[in-house]
Amino acid sequence: MLGGKTVILGVTGSIAAYRAADVAGQLVRHGAEVHVIMTRAAREFISPLTMESISGNPVRTEMFAGHSGAMVHLDLARSGDVVVVAPATANVIGKVAGGVADDLLTTLVLAFAGPVLLCPAMNPAMYANPIVQRNIRELQELGYRFCGPEAGRVACGDEGRGRLAPPESIVERVIGLTKGVDDLRGVRVMVTAGATREPLDPVRYLTNRSSGRMGYAVARAARDRGADVVLVSGPTSLPDPDGLTLVPVETASEMFEAVRHRLPESDILVMAAAVADYRPAEVARKKIKKQDGRLTVELEPTADILAYAGRHKKPGRVMVGFAAETGDPVEYAMEKARKKGADLMVGNDVTRPGAGFDVETNLVVFVFPDGRCIRLPQMDKYEVAWRVLDEVLTIRGGVAGA
């Protein structure tokens, strides 16, 4: 996914510097040419030899040493497709925000005309400091991108927001930035994701095996293409994506209300959630005890969120549905698209390897209400999400009022 791309990876003086090795390794595995710049403080935490071994390229540490007076920062700035600083300390964020260029990394960042991704990592109190937050806001207004930080326990033992984002999240953002599009800027996208839980008693519930990975990938891809994203999510074990609005729900009823409330302001709706079709007609107030014989549970249908959205489509809105089947999904997806007013159905056979639940890849077919089908090869779910949004933009181009 990064074949032919050159990534400049800046590493600064944080205890999280050791995780830069994982970032570099994943970038290389995705096909990127990786050039690493390390600050003097970064070399106190991780060896340049480590980063050189992983990247396969010499690590740059000084502006002039060993380069015969060549303008290293300008050469790298011209060759790179994206600059990533991971980890980015409060110090380097402040320097960039203030236009300070006193070492190779900060000089490169100021000379670089392409996208810059800063991945903060620091003590939570430092991250919450108003000066740091001001610097981040000012850089965001100037077009700099940020990934993380996450909340949790940091190396010093404090709890709070300051942990470096997971390497796979950083790499995914790099992939999005290297695609070089911002074609959803100003577009409002609502995505549903994950399974719903329908309570049977205070202890038990009915649900399904959806992990939410596909819906979360669509939300992140839309964010990376510049959209204003609302993610309505059932319970998942996935980390909360940054840079978008997360609306957590649990039941199909709660998801319906969340979608209904935000539908009027949405330009694109991607319904990737695995919403329960039925729920217990009665929820026991106390735990149902095991007893001899069978237990009969009466079920009633839940609200059909996709059909409701289809009935209330405004001119120019594009609606995408998902159909997870145990067999070729084309026929059912075609019927579902026509019946519920979807502009595109994304179908998959969950019994096929690489297309089931809780895996990183998917194997899908795009089904349109006019009878067209496009079968995609197996690919990463983020790449599938990108292709879904490509189709959405094509549909928007042909929809009156879009």
| Tokens coding 45 | 């935490």
The dihedral over CA atoms of 388, 394, 395, 400, expressed in degrees to the nearest 10, equals 150
Reported as half-sphere exposure (CB side, CA atoms, 13 A), residue 312 has a value of 16
CB environment 16-53: b (16+ within 10 A), e (fewer): bbebbbbbbbbbbebebbbbbbbbebbbebbebebbee
Distance between first and last Cα of the chain: 30
Could you give the CA distance from residue 61 to residue 72 in angstroms, rounded to a whole number? 10
Q: Per the residue annotation, which of 119, 147, 156, 373 is the catalytic one? A: 156
Query: What's the CA gap between 360 and 378, in Å, rounded?
Result: 10
Rounded-to-integer distance, Cα 24 and Cα 9, Å: 8
Pairing of strands 364-367, 344-349: antiparallel
d(CA 276, CA 274): 6
Tally the residues of the chain: 402
Catalytic (active site) residue 156 = yes
Locus of tokens 């919403």: 275
Q: Which of 335, 381, 328 is nearest to 352 (CA)?
A: 328
Question: For residues 245 and 335, what is the distance between their CA atoms, to the nearest angstrom?
Answer: 32
Q: Cite the active site residues.
A: 156
